[in-house]
Structure 1
């Protein structure tokens, strides 16, 4: 799995951090997403997918590595 974020699309809602705190964080000054782990371990895959699904700004993309 590979996770990417588009900071320009991020609205700072924080749903990603609530859903997958081991994969995402937020900047203190403006709340924009910070990607902590672009290739999370298997036990974090479901949470990363859910974070992408609930992101109101569609700022998170998840792709499966082949």
Structure 2
């Protein structure tokens, strides 16, 4: 899964990510720096999801909010 988001775009998407995954702290989302794999790991940890579940969730989110949009 390589759906990384450019740093500038990531900063714009932080609010949407926070709205989607409210259990993630602002500083955690900043450390993600647009790297999809880091976001998947955080979602796994905070929400107790499997790797596959978290990857699917991030993939769907990126389709809606990601770099192409």
Higher RCO (CA < 8 A, seq sep 6+): 1
Between Structure 1 and Structure 2, the one with more helix by share is: 2
Q: Say yes or no: TM over 0.5.
A: no
Between Structure 1 and Structure 2, the one with more strand by share is: 1
Output the TM-score relative to the length of structure 2. 0.42
